[in-house]
Every structure is written in C-alpha cells, then in structure tokens.
Chains A and B, each alone.
Chain A
C-alpha cells in the first residue's frame, strides 16, 4: 500500500543545530500514527516540515504519491492537510461558528454576497452545528457563544471539529490532551477514534504514553532528528517505547512495513 503522506531524507537546520537529519516519514491511509520522542528530538520540526509551517532544507514530501512543496500552512490546508496546533489557533472573543470558518468564510449567493460581500451566517452556523453534532459534541450551549466561554475540552473539540470539517486527507493533532483533565482527555480520545472511523488518517503527536498506546495503530519513534523505528503498539510495552525514545534500549532492527 502506498503511504498517503510520505517524507524522504528531510533535513532542517537552524544555525548549527540540526533539527531533522535525513529523516523519513510515512503515514498510511486510514491509520492513526503516533509520533513520540524526547523533547528536542525534532518531532515538531518533522510535523512542521510536512504541514508547510517550515520549508525543509533538503528532502522531499509526497502527498498521495505526488511530490509537493508547501511554503505555508495555508497551502497545506488547501491540499487537504489540517493541523490542530497545541495553542488551538482560535480567536477567544469570536463565536464557535466564526472560528470554524475563519479564513474560509462562506458568502451569500447573489447580489448580497457578490456586491455587499455579506456572509451567509445561517449556513455557516448550520454547518458548524452539524459538524459538532456528527462528532458527538452535543453539550455546546450555543453556536454563537464566544470560544473563551468554553471549557478546555470543548475548545479542543471545536478545533478538532474544524479540522475534521475541512481536512479531507490528513489531520495532524499536536499534543491534543496535554492541557486537559482525565475526563476531557477521554472525550478527545473518543473524538480521535471517531474521526478515524471516517477514514481520515491522523498524525498524533503526544507525550502521553497511555493515550498513544490506546489509539495509535503504529508508533513512529523519533530520536536525534530522525526516525529511529516504527513499532506496533501490540508488540511492545510502554516502557519499551520510552526506552527506545531515550536511547536506553537498542531499537529493533526492522522498520515495520515502511
């Protein structure tokens, strides 16, 4: 099977620091791929390189076999790769509907939209509610309430719903449970499973081993700027994964089904 998103020989240097050192990367269709690694191993650089947030110095990225060259996250987004940043990238004072359609607002058809540039609020609100409902986020009080009035888990939910609404090919989640409590993390993990069941592959960056082992189909272990190995969570324990990641244990020789 051809990977949906593939990186080959990616290099990114910041001055004397090499963040990515000829790194490879593969995301298969329909899977949840967790990316784990110690702080400073280059996880973020890897994700930024495939999502357009940074331009790699060397190497190639392929989406569905086509070579791509993103210079901004907007281009990646247009190609169907949505990223949910750790900061969520939402405007707290604006409503849920405003946030979900920020930067890709829908205008009314005909004269009002074309000449008076009027937004189609009713349609955006309806679509936003449908998306939230599809993902089981039913406890949102009002689609017009400001995002700052939501709990952390609800905000994360809205951000994931936004990505799921527009991300046709790949969704990248950066530490989605890091700021959440136990109950809210559980909701978000269910949400991730839900998005996966729609057939959209997910890249999950996380430090939380129980969460990673719960949802991931494969785990990409990142170390010293490159892919150390890819493991199946069913074959290894969490302490094995941590040992690979920190270098306490030799990595398995195979790189499972690249």
Chain B
C-alpha cells in the first residue's frame, strides 16, 4: 500500500519509525517504565536460585520474602503516589507508627471496641496526610520541608502520647486479636502467606487500576509532570495534591495495622526506617523523583528486589553490609536509567 492510499483512509495513521536496537529498547522502557525493575527482579531471583538451590528457590523462602517486604511494600505504594506528584513524604513511617499506637492505646487505655480503635487509627493517619497536603498545596510550602517537619512532630507526639510504652503481643492476642489480623498466616502448599501480604498485593493492583483508568489517576500524573500546565488544562491541582497526601496517610495507617500483625506488639519505636526504605523501593522501581513518570507495579518490584537481595545474601552467609552496598548501587543505576529514558525522542 502506498503512502497516498493510507492518507485517504480517514483517520490519523500509525507509522512505525525505524529506531534501531538501542532506540527500540529506550522506547519500550519509555512506554513501560516497570520493565527495568521486573527484569532486575527476575534476574536476581534466577541468580540466587542458581547459587543457593532449593534453599532459596522454594515456595517457603520466596513467600518469606513477601512477608518481609509487606510493610515496606505498603508504605512504598503510598510513597509512589506522592512521588508521582513530584513530591516526597518523609513522614510515612511516623504516620504508620502513630496510627498503630492510636489503634493500640484506644483499645487498651480507653477500652474502646477494637474495630472502632482501628477506624480511629486509619482516620488519624488520613488526617495527618491531609494536613501535609494542605500545607503543600494551599500554603505552597516545599514537600520536603513540610514532611521533614511532620516526621519530627508526629514521631515526638507518638512518644509523648504512648509514654514510650509497648503493648505486649500476648495481651493483644488475648483481648484484641483483630489488631493482629494482618499478621494472620495461611499456607497454600509450602507457600506461607499473611493477610498483610494479600493486602499489599491487592493494594498495588487497585492503585495500578486507579492510576491508569480513572481521571484522578491521570491527574496525579499530570500534576507531577507539569503542575502549571495541568492547572491551565482544567485540573484541580490543589485538590489532587491534598487528596494524594491524604490517601498516602490512609495507606500508611494500614501499614501501621500490618506492622502490629508483623511484630505482634504495638511498639512506638518500630518502623523508624520506613521513610528511607520506601523511597528506596520507589526509586529502584523506576518512578522518577521529578514526578509524572513511572508505575506503581515498578515500586512493587522495587520492594521485592530489596527483599530478594536481603534474604539471598543472608542465606549465603554474607555480611549484611553487602546488602546495603548493592542496594546503593541499584539506586544510582535506577536513576541513571531514568535520566536516559527521559531523553527519548520519536
């Protein structure tokens, strides 16, 4: 068919330009930003599987990775939303911890029904997120500063309110077992899952749907890409940013609930590294820190990559520092790939 024929078929036509091999790879990564972390994830599973054999490559060990990354995975999902809007949330870990403390203290100190306490915890996390969002969108303060401050405020409030007291696992199991719900285990064959793992996977799938197939999701990307352009196109930029931080707060509160399930007790000193670990997962997952690019699936793969390295190296008997060293290399490599993808041209 000649080009003259195709020009008359009445609709804009699709020409596939010849890009060459490297260009094609770059184009594919541009269209599917989760591809890089997926390849790294599969490769690292294969390598550790070959090195360690069935000790690593078993349903038990592989699902153990899922259990170990569930908290970071949930928090990283929240972090992804925020980073997609070109923001950052340093208070995620603190929100998760204070939400878990609220759930625990409301049950044990005030004797509220455990369901009510959990809802209070979730609302509390959402409210802190909403305050973050309001300060950033309405007061025009930089996200880094707002959440740096909120991190300190929330963490201090957490210690003051809880009086640095841990609610013990046994007590919770006897009187308020629902607090440990997300830690409940069930096994399929040799694979062991927890409700929290299930929640993490469902959360990622729901967010992937929302980001791709709803107007709100498209607005999150548009705001992160170019907030001014989004505003002129008719997007409610302020509302989008506030809702993103509020939803992030809610997800972190769920992470706090999962944290109780994971460690059994309500401990105000837990989850201290969640902010850095979640940002690590997001960056390795290929989401651009400049906003507007990347996918939530990438974050999920990023969290799993960290989990695979951690468990694999531990099973090999390596010093734990090797894990941090390799994660550091991955972070820098991921950002380098992001910069390269940005240079894509037709």
Contact surface of A with B, Cβ cutoff 8 Å: 73-74, 77, 83, 85, 87-94, 98-99, 102-105, 107, 116-119, 121, 129-130, 132-133, 137-143, 145-146, 148-151
9 contacts between A and B (CB under 8 A): A85-B232, A91-B230, A91-B233, A102-B234, A103-B219, A116-B213, A117-B216, A133-B11, A141-B17
Contact of B346 among A85, A99, A107, A141 (CB under 8 A): A141
**B262 near A: Cβ within 8 Å?**
no
Query: What is the bound-complex CA distance between A145 and B213, given in angstroms?
Result: 17
B residues 187-229 in Cβ contact with A at 8 Å: 209-210, 213-216, 218-219, 221-222, 225-226, 228-229
Contact surface of B with A, Cβ cutoff 8 Å: 7, 10-17, 30, 209-210, 213-216, 218-219, 221-222, 225-226, 228-230, 232-235, 292-293, 344-346
Q: Are A91 and B234 in contact (CB under 8 A)?
A: no
CB distance from B4 to the nearest CB of A (A): 12
Q: Are A141 and B14 in contact (CB under 8 A)?
A: yes
Q: Are B15 and A130 in contact (CB under 8 A)?
A: no
Q: Are B14 and A118 in contact (CB under 8 A)?
A: no
- Known contacts A93-B293, A98-B222, A117-B214; 12 further A-B pairs (Cβ under 8 A): A90-B233, A93-B221, A94-B218, A98-B218, A102-B234, A119-B215, A130-B11, A137-B12, A141-B16, A146-B344, A149-B345, A149-B346
CB distance from B249 to the nearest CB of A (A): 21
Which residues of the other chain, A, contact B346 by a CB distance below 8 angstroms? 141, 145, 149-151
Q: Are B229 and A88 in contact (CB under 8 A)?
A: yes
Which residues of the other chain, B, contact A138 by a CB distance below 8 angstroms? 7, 12-13
The majority secondary structure among interface residues of chain A is loop
Which residues of the other chain, A, contact B228 by a CB distance below 8 angstroms? 87, 89
The residue of chain B having its C-beta at the shortest distance from the C-beta of A100 within the complex is B233
The residue of chain B having its C-beta at the shortest distance from the C-beta of A142 within the complex is B14
CB distance from B221 to the nearest CB of A (A): 6
The residue of chain A having its C-beta at the shortest distance from the C-beta of B33 within the complex is A93
Which residues of the other chain, A, contact B232 by a CB distance below 8 angstroms? 73, 83, 85, 87, 89
Query: What is the bound-complex CA distance between A140 and B7, given in angstroms?
Result: 12
Q: Are B12 and A129 in contact (CB under 8 A)?
A: yes
Q: Are A91 and B345 in contact (CB under 8 A)?
A: no
CB distance from A229 to the nearest CB of B (A): 31
